[in-house]
């Protein structure tokens, strides 16, 4: 699985030991109803590089940075439709 320091946010960790983090599982579940290009991730600015690494097919413009420490969330754009 993915190995990370103890203070690593849980959404980026492979908590189930199957090689996929919680955020990757969330994106995987949304893909049948919404293409990755129509999803957005809202996260703390210090986690942007982790999101890019774990969701490489997400456009960089769809990764939105918050200056304060908050939880990561995935949102989809209103015009979300399957490919």
Residue 50 has pLDDT above 60, yes or no: yes
Token pair for 10? 């849980």
- Span 42-69, average pLDDT: 89
Residue 46 pLDDT level (bands cut at 50, 70, 90): confident
What is the rounded CA–CA span in Å between residue 60 and residue 73? 15
pTM as predicted: 0.75
Alpha helix (H) residue ranges in 35-74: 48-54
Of 6-15, 27-36, 59-68, 72-81, where does mean pLDDT reach its minimum? 72-81
Residue 58 pLDDT level (bands cut at 50, 70, 90): very high
């Amino acid at each position: 699985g993915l190995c990370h320091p103890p203070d690593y946010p849980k959404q980026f960790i492979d908590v189930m030991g199957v090689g996929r983090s919680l955020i990757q599982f969330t994106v995987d579940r949304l893909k049948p109803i919404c293409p990755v290009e129509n999803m957005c991730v809202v996260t703390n600015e210090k986690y942007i590089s982790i999101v890019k690494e774990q969701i490489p097919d997400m456009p960089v413009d769809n990764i939105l940075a918050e200056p304060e420490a908050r939880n990561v969330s995935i949102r989809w754009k209103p015009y979300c439709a399957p490919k």
